[in-house]
Amino acid sequence: MRIVSQLQELNEALDIESNKSIGFVPTMGFLHHGHRSLIHESKKRSDFTIVSIFINPTQFNNQSDLKNYPVSIEKDLFILEQEKVDLVFCPDFDTLYNNEKPIEITLGSLDNVLEATKRKGHFQGVIRVLSIFFKLINPNYAFFGEKDYQQYLVINQLAKKSFPEIEIIMCPTKREQSGLAMSSRNSRLSAEDFEKSKEIFKVLTFCKKNFDYSNREELEKTCMNKLAKFSEPEYFEIRHSDDLLNNGGKFKNWRAFAATNLAGVRLIDNIALI
Number of residues interacting with ligand PAF: please give it, by CB under 6 A. Answer: 10
Contacts of residue 3, Cβ cutoff 8 Å, sequence gap at least 6: 77, 87, 88, 90
Q: Is 92 left (phi over 0), alpha (psi -120 to 50) or beta?
A: beta
Per-residue exposure over 202-228, b if at least 16 CB sit within 10 Å of its own CB, e if not? ebbebbeeebeeeebeebbeebbebbe
d(CA 169, CA 91): 24
Q: Contact between 59 and ligand PAF (CB under 6 A)?
A: yes
In the chain the first and final C-alpha atoms are separated, in Å, by 41
Q: How far is the CB of 27 from ligand PAF (least distance, A)?
A: 5
Q: How far is the CB of 87 from ligand PAF (least distance, A)?
A: 16
Q: Contact between 129 and ligand PAF (CB under 6 A)?
A: yes
Over the window 17 to 56, marking each residue x when it contacts ligand PAF by CB under 6 A and - when it does not, the resulting string is ---------xxx---------------------------x
d(CA 240, CA 254): 5
* Cβ atoms of 207 and 273 closer than 8 Å: yes
Residue nearer to ligand PAF on the CB measure, 152 or 254: 152
Query: Secondary structure of the chain: what % helix, strand, coil (to 5)?
Result: 45, 20, 35
Of residues 225, 224, 229, 230, the one with CA closest to residue 259: 224
* Cβ atoms of 51 and 82 closer than 8 Å: no
Catalytic residue among 32, 35, 122, 240: 35
Q: How far is the CB of 148 from ligand PAF (least distance, A)?
A: 5
Q: How far is the CB of 126 from ligand PAF (least distance, A)?
A: 5
Residue nearer to ligand PAF on the CB measure, 148 or 199: 148
Residue nearer to ligand PAF on the CB measure, 129 or 203: 129
Q: How far is the CB of 253 from ligand PAF (least distance, A)?
A: 23
Rule CB under 6 A: choose which of 77, 114, 126, 189 binds ligand PAF.
126
Contacts of residue 142, Cβ cutoff 8 Å, sequence gap at least 6: 23, 24, 25, 26, 130, 134, 155, 159, 166, 167, 168, 169
Over the window 190 to 229, marking each residue x when it contacts ligand PAF by CB under 6 A and - when it does not, the resulting string is ----------------------------------------
122 is annotated as an active-site residue: no
Rule CB under 6 A: choose which of 86, 148, 234, 237 binds ligand PAF.
148
Residue nearer to ligand PAF on the CB measure, 46 or 150: 150
3-state secondary structure of 83: coil
Residue nearer to ligand PAF on the CB measure, 96 or 273: 96
Residues lying near ligand PAF in the complex (CB under 6 A): 26-28, 56, 59, 126, 129-130, 148, 151
Which residues participate in catalysis according to the annotation? 35
